[in-house]
Amino acid sequence: MMINQKIKFDFVFLGQSVLKYQVPLDIFTTINKIYEQNFHNLAPANQQLVGKIENEHSLFYHGADQTKMKNHNMLSRNVTDYFMTMFKHYLTFNKIKDYDTHLNSIWVNEMKQHEYNPAHIHRGMLFTGLSSVMILKLPSTFGREYSAKQVQQNGRLQILGAANGQFAKIDYQPPMNLRDFYIFPYDMRHCVYPFNGTNETRRTLAANCDVQFDPIKNRGAI
């Protein structure tokens, strides 16, 4: 689909790479449409997640643990192909070679005011892999910032790194824009802060992709 096109992205290094993409409008529109049209038939994902969020629903699951959720796919082929293309682009950018990938799970978090997602990491069938966050819908306001108003945090994503040194960037709190798509490793802690003052919701998608590779062979890869 996009494998032969030049992919535009931004890059932040926090000890490991965070790559930011802009989702094509057709993919963005299709995902929102599938979610909204099938909302009442979607499997709740709360039992597998740490978020303090009422509405967490799965769009795709192909994992080893069938006790909490059975394998299913609500997404069209062009959407799942898009995710795999972007995950492979991330691995290519980071010079990872001789790997196998497996799309594990995709779900949507629809946050209301006062809900939040505490700091956490992801995993799939493996402990090695890639997490992601896609911005699907934003409220017109995140409400009142009660202190340090110059630092906007309500409703914001924060990705926590493991870089060292006095000039190292240790966290990343990006501006919130529709169609933004962030990819980063499973073991990078991240969180979402609560917001207030509105009945509108904040909708994001998360996707997990297992990556099996040999870290010894990839050490110092160029």
218 domain residue, yes or no: no
Q: What is the pLDDT of residue 85?
A: 97
The pLDDT tens digits of the residues spanning 103-138 come to: 999 999 999 999 999 999 999 999 999 999 999 999
Mean pLDDT score, 187-192? 97
Q: What is the pLDDT of residue 2?
A: 44
Whether pLDDT at 22 is above 50: yes
The pLDDT tens digits of the residues spanning 69-88 come to: 999 999 999 999 999 999 99
Q: What is the pLDDT of residue 3?
A: 44
Q: How many domains does the chain have?
A: 1
Determine what percent of the chain is predicted with pLDDT higher than 90: 83
The pLDDT tens digits of the residues spanning 150-165 come to: 788 999 999 999 888 8
Give the structural domain span for 203: 12-212
7 domain residue, yes or no: no
221 domain residue, yes or no: no
pLDDT band for 66, please (50, 70, 90 cuts): confident
Q: φ and ψ at 171, to 5 degrees?
A: -150, 165
Q: What is the pLDDT of residue 152?
A: 87
Whether pLDDT at 1 is above 70: no
CATH number at residue 111: 2.60.120.620
136 domain residue, yes or no: yes
